[in-house]
Amino acid sequence: MPSSGFLNQSTRKRLPASIRALPELDQVVFIFLRMRRDEFQIARQLKLGRKEALEAIARVRDALIKNGSLDMVEDPVFYPLDIPATDNEKEYPPINLKTGGMDMTDSLEITRFHEILRQSISMMPREGRRLLSLWFTREMKAADILKFYRNLGVNLISGKPIENTGVGDVFYAIEKNSLNLLKIVRSNMKQGEFDITPAVLKAALDEVGVSED
């Protein structure tokens, strides 16, 4: 639960009625969504696990959908995999990569993408795979990941002793390894095959997870 310092009485009064009816955590998440923060940034700011952040975001979205106000936090645009994002389209809703209900061509494209993703994950250094597995597959909080590494006596960031490493460093390392994976994924694709953005990659990792092996 975030500190009550995030919301004062004046701020609460300006919230939509559908949001005021939600718990304080969800009210704060609504404000961050209005600022176009993604689940990664919200989890870091509120010291939540990624799963908790996603659940709070879902509750906020459901409340806004029922009230017809989803456009308060999202642009009503869908970005399929085969349309390149422009510089002005860096933040948008996660893309559902499941193949159910798709025609054969779309299903094959998604299957191909998942194969490339798994191959790319296997090409990462083992340390990077382990960290992303803890975050995306095991859905551990950043604080728990830090404790895990301290118990192992293994440095999370090269050149920085684990005893001097904080929760903020965990988020930094996750983001850095995610971007490294993105580079590998792009290098394994044929030119013009897909346009993969960080948001698309995160949605895909939710689907397939990250194997440490």
Using pLDDT thresholds of 50, 70 and 90, give the confidence band for residue 79.
Answer: very low
Chain CA centroid to CA 156, Å: 20
Q: What is the pLDDT of residue 206?
A: 74
pLDDT of residue 75: 56
Residue 177 has pLDDT above 80, yes or no: yes
pLDDT at 3 over 50: no
Mean pLDDT of 4-28: 82
Query: In this predicted structure, what is the pLDDT of residue 91?
Result: 40
Instruction: Give 124's contacts (C-beta < 8 A, 6+ positions apart).
Output: 132, 177, 180, 181, 184
Q: In whole angstroms, what separates CA 105 from the centre of its chain?
A: 27
pTM listed for this prediction: 0.55
- Give pLDDT, residue 192: 66
* pLDDT attached to residue 108: 62
Higher pLDDT, 177 or 38: 177
pLDDT in tens, 141-169: 888 999 999 999 999 998 899 999 998 89
Model pLDDT for residues 89-113, shown as the tens digit of each residue: 444 333 344 444 444 345 566 778 8
- H-assigned helices in the chain: 9-14, 17-20, 24-34, 39-46, 50-66, 104-122, 126-132, 142-152, 167-187, 198-208
Distance of CA 114 to the CA centre of its chain: 17
* Residue range 115-126: mean pLDDT, rounded: 91
Higher-confidence position of 132 and 190:
132
Would you state the pLDDT for residue 97? 41
pLDDT over 90, % of the chain = 30
Give residues with Cβ within 8 angstroms of 34, minimum separation 6.
Answer: 72, 73
Q: Report the Cα–Cα distance between both ends of the chain, in Å, rounded.
A: 35
